Chains A and B, each alone.
Chain A
Amino acid sequence: MNAVTYPQDNPHLWFTQLRAIIGIELGRVLFTSRATAIYVVAAVPIILLTTVGYIDNPRTGGPITGNIANARYAFAVIYAGFLLGTMVFLGSASLFISLFRGEILDRSLHYYLLSPVRREILAAGKYLAGLIASIGLFGTVTLVCYLLLYLPYGVSQMMSDFSSGPAARELTLYLLTTVFACIGYGAVFLLLGLFFRNPIFPILVLIGWELMHFILPPALKMISVVHYLKGIMPPQPWRGPIAVVMASPPAAVCMLALTGLTAVALILTVLRLKRIELRYTDS
């Protein structure tokens, strides 16, 4: 009895393979010991904002953030500095780099390269798994943190802000920024993970590039992720040196530009994957 149907006779073979790779990679990225660092990074802001919600300001007796407008301003600062700058950046760095470089260090990438799967599908499978994990995790954290702001002000305040106030629009923009940050940083780190033997360099390279971005000439600004993220984020009342910044293009253009940047990075990844040569024995 031949209970086995061979892949060649499977009409939509590539879809089965894609689903399989995504499943495997999600398991590897979210449920192994290396993933604990990402969960810790994601938990910190939630814990912080919950404490903020519960503790009352000793002097005024009211919520620490004074009024909701001030709270939203504080969120903007925390979002740009901590949530986006550290959590999403470092989180997606460790997550996307480990997709390829992690497997090369573990010497298990050859199991994929030896499977009859197109390199395009392999790269797409890995990238999508990374996206699902990062957007799922960091998107939820952004949403939860934003809602936690309303903890001291009660549900009614939240309802009114969402129905009439600026909250709905602001939250959508924040979520979009997080999503596009994952998409943009994800593709770039996936590519850098394939090229650099030592993962610390891609991270330092990008930190340097992103930090310098506001002093870069306009031409070079075009290819830095943070420049477009600024366009999507709610307008920031910047203080300090970063205030002097070239106005980012409107949100729609930024999203398009980021998608384009991602596509370029993915194409380079596939080309590199097609030519990669693994030599474990005497590497």
Chain B
Amino acid sequence: MAVYERSYHGYDGELTGTGNRILVISKFTTRELFRSRMFCAFFAICFVPSVSFLIAIYLRYNLEMLTELQIPIDEIFIIDAGFFINFLQYPQASLSFLLALVVGPGMISPDLRDNAMPLYLSRALTKTDYLLGKLLVLVVLLSLITWVPAVLLFFIHAYLGPEGWLVDNLQLPFAFIVTSFAWIFTLSLTALALSAWIKWKQVAQITFFGFFVMSSALGEAVREIFGGWLGSAFSAFDSYAVLISYAANEPVPISMPPSVAIMNMLVLSALATALIFQRIRAKEVA
């Protein structure tokens, strides 16, 4: 029989290396994100287009069901590279933008507003670890709704579809992965840069929303005056569309040269990264 009086004692268990701090930050940030039901619902909606495209592919190759519905198969369902490009260009591009709008600004702003930076920095991790941890979350989430479903649909179609289709379309998945990563990094870095500089999450969201809306509105205005492709140089969405088609060597919908598209994304990402690092150097703490 013993009486354990509640006195303080330290922790002498084993400690993990300092390398895994980035993963710890990503793990907890993701876990907190999925604790809100609203976000889970929104994230589920982001998968609706992927599922519907899957069904489309499945139906295409199961003729019996289609014949009863008397739908002329060949005219509607031409599943080719354009099919996947449309998948990435329309539903997934805007959904990934909305996801970045919802998640991105909330990455750093709350920590700035609630003065949580000293809690991180007083531990054995640097601000770069913190930023990489947050960036990783964004990149993973955005990948899950851009190139991951695209590549999956591609291989499912290759499996179901005609022989030899896989061989002569092999460059498609790589095109999807490369261009989607460019798009993901542009969105994530811009969102993180705004989140790192603006204390209030809502204000960062407006600025993020305003920035993209403004740039496409500007693109419209320029197209009105100049015509030609100069207008779409301002819009990141058009750049993404051009890059996908170009990488998949399909006819490019907008006459903008792909180099301008790449430049648009590079400039945006570089500017955002510079803003983030500027925030790192500024030794503001509490």
Contact = CB atoms under 8 A, between A and B. Distances in A.
The answer to A–B direct touch (Cβ < 8 A) is: yes
Given A105-B200, A199-B203, A199-B206, A48 B214 contact: no
Interface in B110-141: none
A258 to B, nearest CB: 24
A44 B218 contact: yes
B202 A78 contact: no
A254 to B, nearest CB: 24
A51 B225 CA distance: 11
Contacts of A78: 221, 224-225
A86 B206 contact: no
Contacts of B202: 198-200
A64 B209 CA distance: 31
A162 interface: no
B205 interface: yes
Interface in A70-101: 74, 77-78, 81-82, 85-86, 90, 94
Nearest to B101: A200
B217 A86 contact: yes
A243 B264 CA distance: 34
B11 interface: no
A198 B200 CA distance: 10
B221 A200 contact: no
A250 B213 CA distance: 32
A133 B207 CA distance: 20
Interface string A172-212: 00000000000000000000000000111001000000000
A37 B221 CA distance: 20
Nearest to B197: A33
Interface in A9-47: 37, 41, 44-45
Nearest to A79: B221
Contact of B225 (A37, A52, A94, A199): A52
Contacts of A90: 210, 214
A81 B209 CA distance: 17
Given A81-B217, A82-B217, A85-B217, A200 B224 contact: no
Contacts of B209: 200
Nearest to A49: B225
A94 B206 contact: yes
Contacts of B213: 86
B222 interface: yes
A50 interface: no
A248 interface: no
A81 B225 contact: no
B214 A64 contact: no
Contacts of A48: 218, 221-222, 225
Contacts of A105: 200
A65 interface: yes
B8 interface: no
B103 to A, nearest CB: 15
B248 to A, nearest CB: 31
A54 to B, nearest CB: 13
Contact of B214 (A41, A199, A200): A41
Given A52-B226, A64-B226, 15 more contacts: A37-B207, A45-B221, A48-B221, A48-B222, A65-B225, A74-B224, A77-B221, A78-B225, A82-B217, A82-B220, A86-B214, A86-B217, A105-B200, A200-B202, A203-B206
Interface of A: 37, 41, 44-45, 48, 52, 64-65, 74, 77-78, 81-82, 85-86, 90, 94, 105, 198-200, 203
Interface of B: 200, 202-203, 205-207, 209-210, 213-214, 217-218, 220-222, 224-226
8 contacts: A37-B207, A41-B214, A77-B224, A81-B221, A85-B217, A86-B218, A90-B214, A199-B203
Counting from the closest, the 10 A-B pairs by CB-CB distance are A82-B221, A198-B202, A86-B217, A78-B221, A77-B224, A200-B202, A74-B225, A200-B206, A82-B217, A52-B225
